[in-house]
Amino acid sequence: MAIPENAHYYDSDDGLRLYYRDFGADLDGTPVICLPGLTRNSRDFEKLAQRLARHPTNPRRVITPDFRGRGFSEHDPNWENYHPGTYIKDVWRLLDTLGINEVIIVGTSLGGLCAMHMSAENNDRIAGVVLNDVCPEINPAGLARVQSYTGRVPPVASWDEAAAQTKEIYGEWLPGLSDADWQEMARRAYRENADGVPQLDIDPAIGTAVRKVGAQKGDPWSNFATLKDTPVVMLWGVMSDIATEDIIDRMRDVKPDLDVVPVADRGHVPLLDEPECVDAIDKLLQEVA
């Protein structure tokens, strides 16, 4: 897979070469940064980034990084660094490198947890947040499911097998996708090796970290509470085993103005191209200059 024209690299504090794409770098308004899920990468946001950067009435600069160990970013030789605290340092470093003081975060799953942590560290730099099917508290059943497959997915021999494997992992939560959709989703998560065989585009050691690092550091509910005066949209896949209705009700107790948007026929996670998601993201961007 060729690296796109608008791709760039920066160096982390500890010397890793990390990748990001920059859509509409010359656009005004508060930029958007998209933070991916645990086993995913920046390619999940390509369509969203293109749409926002070309929006007819409210175009925005959109930055889509690969967390360390994913996509085109270097793998970390120390698996213990694969945790939100490190990812957050990397994101701050990227924003500082680009001279961006304030940002809107679209965070899918792990990316949403990072958004809440970042708000706790410096809420003044967070202009708005889209939480894609993630809460301060993770439903234990969903967490166990994710832990069971991360870093343990068997190799595939072709793109058809990669698409089938992707459907096996996510099919229950994304009903109605076509064979072409599963092929496209696989190509966002796998990349061909030197022999032309697709491989999952993630360091397998991330699975070790997920199973051994343990619970989130600090109080995630306190992190979420720092967003009480920040515009926040919660995209909720109504079939989700990660973000459940009782946890979302507790989020509303902490932040009564939380904009919860149910996404029909989706579990963990919505793909961000559903009409409900498109409308909700556009609405948030209209609120933030």
* Cα separation, 261 vs 255, whole angstroms: 15
Over residues 123-139, the mean pLDDT reads 96
**For the chain, what is the mean pLDDT?**
94
Correct CATH for 7-151+215-287 of 3.40.50.1820, 3.10.290.10, 3.50.30.50, 2.60.120.200: 3.40.50.1820
What H or E segment, with its residue span, contains residue 235?
A: strand 232-237
Over residues 216-245, the mean pLDDT reads 93
* Cα separation, 118 vs 228, whole angstroms: 14
Q: What is the pTM of this model?
A: 0.96
Predicted confidence (pLDDT) per residue in 48-58, tens digit: 999 999 999 99
pLDDT exceeds cutoff 80 at 72? yes
The pLDDT value given to residue 150: 81
In this predicted structure, which of 43-47, 72-76, 145-149, 214-218 has the lowest mean pLDDT?
Answer: 214-218
The pLDDT value given to residue 2: 63
More confident residue, 134 or 7: 134
In which band, very low, low, confident or very high, does the pLDDT at 216 lie, cut at 50, 70 and 90? low
Task: Provide CATH 3.40.50.1820 ranges for the chain.
Answer: 7-151+215-287
* Cα separation, 189 vs 36, whole angstroms: 11
The pLDDT value given to residue 154: 92
Predicted confidence (pLDDT) per residue in 84-104, tens digit: 999 999 999 999 999 999 999
* Cα separation, 131 vs 119, whole angstroms: 13
* Cα separation, 42 vs 20, whole angstroms: 8
The pLDDT value given to residue 76: 98
In which band, very low, low, confident or very high, does the pLDDT at 152 lie, cut at 50, 70 and 90? confident
